Structure formats: structure tokens, C-alpha cells
Amino acid sequence: MNDKLKRTTILNISYINTNFTHFLKIIQARINNRENTFIATVNPEIAYYAHQNPKYQSIINDADFVTPDGIGIIKAAQIIHQPIQSRITGFDVFKAILAWGSQNHKSAYFAGAKPNVIADLKAVLKDEYPGIKISGIRDGYFQDNQVVADEINATHPDMVFLALGSPKQEEFIHQYRHINNGLWIGLGGSFDVLSGNTQRAPQFWINHHLEWLYRLLKEPSRLPRIMVIPKYLKLVRKSK
């Protein structure tokens, strides 16, 4: 863990408390130095699940950096009177690292999402991030984790991007991060967004902390997941 960064602990998860630019510089330096780096991007849904599952919470806390991915985490920090500087989403980190990696000819391994998403992602990487050397790219419908781990071990990419959903992606990283010194990050649905298969909220909604509402309007089936947020904030209030 990099102790130079300020952190804020909420329900036994320690989040980085910094701005996006500073965090990005730290990650870029670690990639350049081939430091083994695990980033966990945690939103209220993940935090709530971790609170109910101590083993998974231990995996999250094993990450070198836990980012506050979700306005609910920012609100939780305010509740305990330890404000977090800014929300740092996995998708924003993904795009920024890809852009930097393309400029600096870094290698990357991608695993996750559906086959059609991966096909579209390949096209986006080729067109928008031509400097990225693709060490491997596959959908998330694999049966044997070891096969994927062996591919990563054989190619030694600078960066490993996993869009397997939580808790699977964090469990995979926890089990296999030792095989490759580089960046490991779980990204949930980021492949879907970058590939154009899922639309991210317009900037207005993001700026006003209403991305969750935009996504709910687009996907009403997300309601049970959204309802985890008040449950999580209730737990935070009880913990004060």
C-alpha cells in the first residue's frame, strides 16, 4: 500500500482521498516501474456486499488503492465528517490510462464482457488507442481461470484490465496478481461503455451527481441495485 496518499476509512474499507490528476500520476509511475499494483474501484453496491462478506472485504483491503467510485461513497464520507476530495471512477481511470498507455506504447491484456462487446472494443482500441500493444483480449465467458492466468503470465503485459463484474474480478486479481508485475484493475461494465454498447450519462448528469438516476431511467431493471445505496448509507450512519 502507498502510504503517501491520504485515506478515509468507511465501514472498514480504506479509500484514497486525493484528486484524479494526482492519482493518475502515481499509477503511471508505478506502471513505468513495473510495480505490482491492484486497484479496486468500489461503489456503494460493492461496499455493501463487502460489509456482508468479510472474505471479500479482505480482498478489497488487500488492494494497493481503493477508489471512491460512486457518489454514495462521497456522501458516506460526508456523513462521518471525513470528506473525500473527489469521486474517482474506474471508467475514468480506464480511459486515462489507455490514452497515456497508447502514447507510451504500453502493453495491455483485456478480459471480460460479452463476445460482441469484445469485437467492438477491438475496433475502438485500434482506432482510438493505436499505441496500445494488445497482449491478449477475450470475453468473460471462460470456464478456466488458469487458462487466462497462463496467458497473462506468458505475455507479461504492463496493464491487466478485467471486466468480469464484482466480486469475480477482484477475486481473480487477488489470486493471480503475483504472476505479473504491472497494473491490475477490475472495471465492471467499462468495456461495454468504451465499446459503445452502453451509453454513459451525459456530462450534465455526472456533474450534478445524477449518473445513477440517468442509468436507472435507461435501465429500470437496475432499481434493486440502486436501492442498495440507501441501505449502505444507513449502515454508515449507524457506524458513526
What number of CA atoms fall less than 13 Å from residue 240's CA on the CB side? 12
Class of the 7-239 domain? Answer: alpha beta
What's the pLDDT at 199?
A: 77
**Cell numbers describing residue 155:** 505475455
pTM value is 0.92
The rounded Cα 23 to chain-centroid distance in angstroms is 14
State the cell numbers at 77. Answer: 464520507
Average pLDDT value for residue range 144-161: 98
Nearest to 40 by CA among 50, 32, 31, 30: 50
- Counting residues of the chain whose pLDDT is more than 70, the rounded percentage is 99
pLDDT 10s digits, 106-118: 999 999 999 999 9
- Give the contacts of 146 (CB within 8 A, at least 6 positions apart): none
- For residue range 196-218, list pLDDT tens digits in order: 998 777 888 888 777 877 777 88
The residue extents of the domains of the chain are: 7-239
Residue 1 pLDDT > 60, yes or no?
Answer: no
